[in-house]
């Protein structure tokens, strides 16, 4: 699973996946877990223990993936971990399809937000992710994240430098045939937030073999389109950003879920 260099570093990010998802992306690469087909029910205290186990293994941070439906439990677990002096930052890896009031519960607890901004066209959010109202919800959610962390802060840890300690890194996954929308998203983010955030442009879209009803997205993203997106971001002044290089649209970038470590 790919993470930005400021998150993964050399020692890696301590990723914790939560089963289930409040979106219904037809192209989901992790359907096994997002549909709740796998997973293990654990008490809150076990989650706290997992946080410390990941820290002991040298993880640079605790990376909470698709935890949007478990925020009350996550809040309690982080509060307990911080009361016991856990040292590494907490990161929320989210679709941005999350209410502002829910995010406010995490104010002072989540150190780094890693939101996706999937769509800026409502019709695509509905067609491909069954996410009615996504655009407005995501914009408001990202606003709240940046209210909590208006600037990115970096530091060193585990003998590594330039690791993010606080801030917001907004991701966008380029999808087939959606280059114009991707450029609109980059323009929106940069016009509104400038250099206060990092923008991460991803090209790892991988067809999942179940897109017969969506032939327009049943293919990988072309190198030409991705290059065009990256060049566009640079042309409007984006400096704080990440791009992917090499072959990322393949199944080796999709994790398996065997509940190991839980």
Write the DSSP symbol of residue 154: E
Q: Is the pLDDT of residue 248 over 80?
A: no
Report residue 173's pLDDT band, with 50, 70 and 90 as the boundaries.
very high
Cα 53 to Cα 43: distance, rounded to the nearest angstrom? 16
Q: pLDDT digit string (tens) for 14-49?
A: 999 999 899 999 999 877 666 656 678 999 999 999
Task: Classify residue 219 by burial, with Cβ atoms within 10 Å: 0-12, 13-18, 19+.
Answer: middle
Which pLDDT does position 161 carry in this prediction? 72
Which pLDDT does position 20 carry in this prediction? 87
Q: pLDDT digit string (tens) for 55-103?
A: 999 999 999 999 999 999 999 999 999 999 999 999 999 999 999 999 9
Q: pLDDT digit string (tens) for 207-223?
A: 988 999 999 999 999 99
Q: Is the pLDDT of residue 252 over 60?
A: no
Delineate the domains of the chain, giving CATH numbers in brackets: 5-253 (3.20.20.70)
Cα 93 to Cα 61: distance, rounded to the nearest angstrom? 12
Cα 119 to Cα 180: distance, rounded to the nearest angstrom? 11
Cα 233 vs. chain centroid, distance in angstroms? 19
Cα 184 to Cα 62: distance, rounded to the nearest angstrom? 31
Which pLDDT does position 158 carry in this prediction? 57
Is 21 part of any known ligand binding site? yes
Cα 196 to Cα 9: distance, rounded to the nearest angstrom? 21
Helix 44-56, helix 71-83: angle, nearest 10? 50
Q: What is the three-class DSSP state of 246?
A: coil
Look-up: residue for tokens 């925020």? 71
- Give the torsion through C-alpha atoms of 211, 1, 137, 228, to 10 deg: -70
Which pLDDT does position 1 carry in this prediction? 52
pTM across the whole model: 0.92
Is 6 part of any known ligand binding site? no
Which pLDDT does position 180 carry in this prediction? 98
| Short-list 23, 70, 19, CA closest to 257 | 19
261 sits in the region (left: phi over 0; alpha: psi -120 to 50; else beta) called: left
**Average pLDDT along the chain:** 91
Among 8-12, 19-23, 222-226, which range has the highest average pLDDT? 222-226
Is pLDDT larger for residue 10 or for residue 105?
A: 105
């Amino acid at each position: 699973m790919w993470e930005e260099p400021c998150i993964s570093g050399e020692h890696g990010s301590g990723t914790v996946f939560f089963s289930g998802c409040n979106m219904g992306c037809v192209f989901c690469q992790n359907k096994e877990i997002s549909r709740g087909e796998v997973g293990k029910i654990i008490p809150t205290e076990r989650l706290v223990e997992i946080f410390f186990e990941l820290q002991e293994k040298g993880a640079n941070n605790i990376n909470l993936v698709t935890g949007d439906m478990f925020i009350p439990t996550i809040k309690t677990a982080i509060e307990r971990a911080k009361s016991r002096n856990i040292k590494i930052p907490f990161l929320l890896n989210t679709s941005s399809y999350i209410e502002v009031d829910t995010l406010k519960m995490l104010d002072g607890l989540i150190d780094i937000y890693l939101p996706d901004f999937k769509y800026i066209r409502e019709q695509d959010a509905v067609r491909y992710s069954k996410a009615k109202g996504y655009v407005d919800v995501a914009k408001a959610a990202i606003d709240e994240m940046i209210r909590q962390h208006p600037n990115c802060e970096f530091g060193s840890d585990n003998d590594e430098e330039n690791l993010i300690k606080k801030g917001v890194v907004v991701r966008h996954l380029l999808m087939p045939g959606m280059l114009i929308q991707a450029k609109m998203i980059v323009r929106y983010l940069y016009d509104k937030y400038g250099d206060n955030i990092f923008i991460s442009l991803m090209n790892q879209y991988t067809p999942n073999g179940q897109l017969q009803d969506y032939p327009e997205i049943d293919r990988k993203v072309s190198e030409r389109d991705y290059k065009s997106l990256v060049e566009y971001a640079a042309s409007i002044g984006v400096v704080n950003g990440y791009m992917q290089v090499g072959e990322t649209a393949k199944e080796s970038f999709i994790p398996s879920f065997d509940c190991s470590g839980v």
